[in-house]
Amino acid sequence: MKNTTLPDAPATGRLSRAARRAQMLDIALEIIREEGADRLTLGYLAARAGVSKPVAYEHFGTRSGLLTAMYRALDEQHSVVLRDALSKAPKSLQATADVLASAWVHCSADSSGEWHAIGSALGGSEEMVAVHKELIEEYVRLFAATLKPWSTLADDELYRRCAGLIGAGDALSMLMINGQCSEQDAAQSFSALIQGGVGAG
């Protein structure tokens, strides 16, 4: 999901605080795509955005703060796409699983691996651990609520299985990103796992 919030915003223009932050997040993603996560620093981001270093530090505080903000922004786009797709899905287990799987894998494909690159750059930082835990819990709850109508499992077991399914979806997405399978193959495999994992009656 390539962020195109402000693709043509002039670097030196007068922007609101929110617009400036969005612009810098867009530019930070460009840096990762073009030069890799190791090249991304607040100083380099400020230079590319045409602002002073204090402006970048005011918005993000630290490099980890910037990476965390990027991770959240990409995740928010992922969540919107997923929820929108689910709202339009026919009401059957197969159709719902297909939508969950396709949207999940497609978001990874559309982000060109930036999501994983950002996560890797954050590594085992406290910020990343906290954010990752929060976001994963949100997705597990979404999967469980979405799949509950077709499940015969107790709620706690369904929750655990959905946590495992999300891990499988991420692993399949990485296979696709690494060129080991197509997006369609990854989505089909993920859908099959979802359908087989919810204890459908």
From CA 172, how far away is CA 180, in angstroms rounded?
A: 9
* Whether pTM exceeds 0.85: no
**What tokens does 188 get?**
């089909």
Question: Number of structural domains, the chain?
Answer: 2
Domain membership flag for residue 128: yes
pLDDT, tens digit (0-9, with 9 covering 90-100), for 117-174:
777 777 767 777 788 788 889 999 999 999 999 999 999 999 999 999 999 998 998 8
pLDDT by 10s per residue, the chain, length 201: 444 443 334 444 578 889 999 999 999 999 988 888 889 999 999 999 999 999 999 999 999 899 889 888 888 888 888 888 888 878 899 999 999 999 989 887 776 567 667 777 777 677 777 887 888 899 999 999 999 999 999 999 999 999 999 999 989 988 998 899 999 999 999 999 999 998 765
Residue 179 shares a structural domain with residue 94:
yes
Domain extent at residue 142:
70-197
Closest of 83, 63, 86, 64 to residue 75, by C-alpha:
83
Distance in angstroms (rounded) separating the CA atoms of residues 182 and 179: 7
Point out the domain boundary residue: 34, 61, 88: 61
Rounded distance, CA 36 to CA 40, Å? 7
